[in-house]
Amino acid sequence: MKLVWFRRDLRVKDNPALHEACKTGEPTIALYTATPEQWKQHDLSPRQADFIQRRLEVLRNDLAALNIPLLFKVVDDFSGLPAYLAEVCQQYQVSDVYCNIDYEFDEVDRDNAVAGTLSLTRTGFHAFHGKCILPPGSVLTGGGKSFQVFTPFKRAWLKLVQSTDYSPVKPPLPISPTALTKALIEDAKEIDLRYWYEDSVSWPVDDNTIIQRLRDYCSYRVTSYDALRDIPSEPATSQLSAYLAIGAISPRQCLARLLTEHPNAFDDSKQGPQVWLSELIWREFYQHVTASNPSLSKGKACLSWESNIEWKHDEILFERWKQGKTGVPIVDAGMRQLNETGWMHNRLRMIVASFLVKDLHIDWRWGERYFMQKLIDGDFAANNGGWQWSASVGLDAQPYFRIFNPFTQSKKFDPEGIFIRRWVKELENIPEKFIHDPYHKNYGSDVSLSYPKPIVDHALRERRHFPFSKLPRITP
């Protein structure tokens, strides 16, 4: 018997571990283990938990069509997994376990512990790369080191990918059923992750809809990605991140579809398909960085000078930021979108992150955790990378300190305030001239609103940027 252990790869298509197990033609079972205590420590959002739970029901049906039953078990945390996997393997006489690798420190540790325990009974443990287009460790500098900056990484990635077989693996063929696999399929019980749930129903989980979303995006909207991707009121980005985060689709499927529609996507022009590919490469970059730098999973910053910064631990300001009540409309619009939907536009993620760190002087780790607790697409590597970049403590080619002016950003990317009005109802009807900064001193005292006044003075904060004062900086 073979066993495929599913984690962040909740799909049947382009799943290397499943593909390899099925290739043997032997009876196969699948397993998903919920680890609620561990997830709590990792700040898994209740919305993503709900999304995973719904997706598991789909996966179970897809696997049943291949005559593979999906077993489900709640084990409090990772420490209980080696014993549980050993027990299952013994119960079903499993000779080999197959899985796709997660690159975060605790996850690597988990797999090492499980592999070690299984080796005592000579059960094979086979781990594959299914999370990236090119596996971590394969894109290296001429000196064989990991890249620390995105642009050279991208250049090397583009060169390597074109000499690699990056096509998705073939969908597995059904395995011959046995009395046991048939009985296990019939015995399927309701899946309950024993975690908090927050409604994720606006994100469909069936394969047809997800694949159609990718197809539609690559055939139409991607062509205007370069022009519109920074405008939060436009549906210009793919909104595929939630699916990539739990592995409901793979990055190879995304690349394959993009190239089918735009065979020139690898060239170095700055058109929509090329820019979208660049974002997929950012995703790869952060996965590779996470894999090669375990200290990131332990809360460390990439740049050592961060340890000299005295962050403020102001719970009151933090609460106002979380609730979208900072008095800075574009920040509040972004935070309210996050709180209500579990997703936030990338431009706004950068603006609200910069505001928390550079205006409120609050530790970026607080923001990083809050995002994970709320996001439907929460993914350690992308989130940690995004926060470290925004806090200017991460892997950024800029040798200066980047401070976003939220009012300038607002005027540039939401000029008519369409997005702000959508999420900040108190400002729905105010004239366009007030929308970005309703209490600006030049407007006099004629604005009377239920909307809060700004909790900090951006200009003052920028000038008195005490923790960072020794660094050259710019204001984009």
Q: Which residues define the annotated binding site for FAD?
A: 225, 237-241, 276, 279-286, 377-379
Cα separation, 173 vs 240, whole angstroms: 27
Cα separation, 355 vs 342, whole angstroms: 19
Query: Min. distance of Cβ 377 from ligand FAD in angstroms?
Result: 4
Asked whether position 127 contacts ligand FAD by CB under 6 A, the answer is no
Query: Min. distance of Cβ 282 from ligand FAD in angstroms?
Result: 4
Q: Which is nearer to ligand FAD, 181 or 250 (CB)?
A: 250
Asked whether position 96 contacts ligand FAD by CB under 6 A, the answer is no
Cβ count within 10 A of residue 234: 16
Among 387, 389, 405, 423, the one annotated catalytic: 387
Look up 364 and say whether it is catalytic: yes
Q: Of 10-18, 95-103, 266-274, 386-394, which segment contacts ligand FAD by CB under 6 A?
A: 386-394
Look at residues 313, 336, 312, 316 and name the one whose alpha carbon lies nearest to residue 451.
336
Asked whether position 378 contacts ligand FAD by CB under 6 A, the answer is yes
Asked whether position 375 contacts ligand FAD by CB under 6 A, the answer is yes
Sign of the dihedral through C-alpha 409, 410, 413, 415: negative
Asked whether position 359 contacts ligand FAD by CB under 6 A, the answer is no
Please identify the residue of the shown chain whose CB is closest to the bound ligand FAD.
386
Cα separation, 37 vs 77, whole angstroms: 5
Asked whether position 377 contacts ligand FAD by CB under 6 A, the answer is yes
Cα separation, 121 vs 387, whole angstroms: 43
Asked whether position 390 contacts ligand FAD by CB under 6 A, the answer is yes
Q: Which residues contact 435 (CB under 8 A, 6 or more apart)?
A: 329, 416, 417, 420, 421, 427
Q: Which is nearer to ligand FAD, 257 or 436 (CB)?
A: 257
Q: Of 27-35, 149-157, 378-386, 435-443, which segment contacts ligand FAD by CB under 6 A?
A: 378-386
Asked whether position 361 contacts ligand FAD by CB under 6 A, the answer is no
b vs e for 198-232, b when ≥16 Cβ sit within 10 Å of the residue's Cβ? Answer: eebeebbbebeebbebbeebbeebbeebbeebbbb
What amino acid positions are annotated as catalytic residues?
279, 282, 311, 346, 364, 387
Residues lying near ligand FAD in the complex (CB under 6 A) are found at 229, 237-241, 244-245, 279-280, 282-283, 286, 346, 349-350, 353, 371, 375, 377-379, 382-383, 385-387, 390
